Amino acid sequence: MRTRLSVNVNKIATLRNARGGNMPNLLQVAKDCERFGAEGITVHPRPDGRHIRYNDVYDLKRIVTTEFNIEGYPSESFNELVCEVVPTQVTLVPDAPDALTSNAGWDTVRNEQLLRDLIEAYHRKGIRTSIFVDANVEMVKAAAQTGTDRIELYTESYARNYPEDPAAAIHDFVLAAEEARNQNLGLNAGHDLSLVNLQYFAKHIPGLLEVSIGHALICDALYFGLESTIHQYLQQLVF
């Protein structure tokens, strides 16, 4: 199976919110992403509403025809939102409400019971679950004990180290992916993946089901246009 591309539209909401109003139109952009070939739409709502707002999530649920992935920290309000919207997938991220962006994976050993309880609640709603984790074999093993369907590898360190030594940058991610396969966990990945480093990552990571990409993709779209950019990202996943 070819790895699926889910487009994170947070940056579209950031641009809209900078001036108020509805320009750019978040819902139209999401529709266009799907029309241009994206196989999923990802959002990460935060309590301060600085990009995706909770009402955006409800609106997107009505129009997204591919996979809808909601990621975020499992606060009480976030859990209520997810259980009301019932997306295709929820991705649990351990970042604080005021974090600029996600910067670490879960300690799945220390938080096993918390994650297990959350995942059981999501499963009762028929929602596929994924846990954001670092490329650490022990964290992957512990993630399997929570009952999650998938993990999402946090790829910031890979992207940072890729220009200097791609093989070294991806080493721990390969080990983590192999452990995910051993544990019968589905595998996603995301954070700082780009046209520069995506194909190498996808080629070398066994069983990679989905990548979620937002910041780099939207930046590239400023130069190439959204349609061309999505096509270029999809091409990185064909080899």
Secondary structure (3-state) at 195: coil
Encode pLDDT of 95-108 as tens digits.
Answer: 866 655 556 899 99
In our burial notation (b when 16+ CB lie closer than 10 A, e otherwise), range 146-172 reads bbbbbbbbbbbbbbeebeeeeeebbeb
Q: What is the pLDDT of residue 97?
A: 63
Q: What percent of the chain has pLDDT over 90?
A: 92
Q: What is the pLDDT of residue 30?
A: 98
In our burial notation (b when 16+ CB lie closer than 10 A, e otherwise), range 111-136 reads bbeebeebbeebeeeebbbbbbbbbb
Q: Where are the domains of the chain?
A: 4-236
Which candidate in 34, 51, 67, 71 is catalytic?
A: 71
CA contacts within 13 A on the Cβ side of 36: 22
Encode pLDDT of 174-214 as tens digits.
Answer: 999 999 999 999 999 999 999 999 999 999 999 999 999 99
Q: What is the pLDDT of residue 98?
A: 60
Q: Decide: 218 and 230 in contact? Cβ < 8 Å.
A: no
Q: What is the pLDDT of residue 101?
A: 56
- DSSP H helical ranges for 125-206: 137-144, 156-161, 166-182, 198-204
Which candidate in 34, 44, 51, 210 is catalytic?
A: 44
Angle subtended at Cα 146 by Cα 136 and Cα 176, rounded to the nearest 5 degrees: 20
Which candidate in 67, 152, 179, 191 is catalytic?
A: 191
Q: What is the DSSP letter of 41?
A: E
204 a catalytic residue? no
Encode pLDDT of 42-85 as tens digits.
Answer: 999 998 888 999 999 999 999 999 999 999 999 999 999 999 99
CATH code of the domain made up of 4-236:
3.20.20.70
71 a catalytic residue? yes
164 a catalytic residue? no
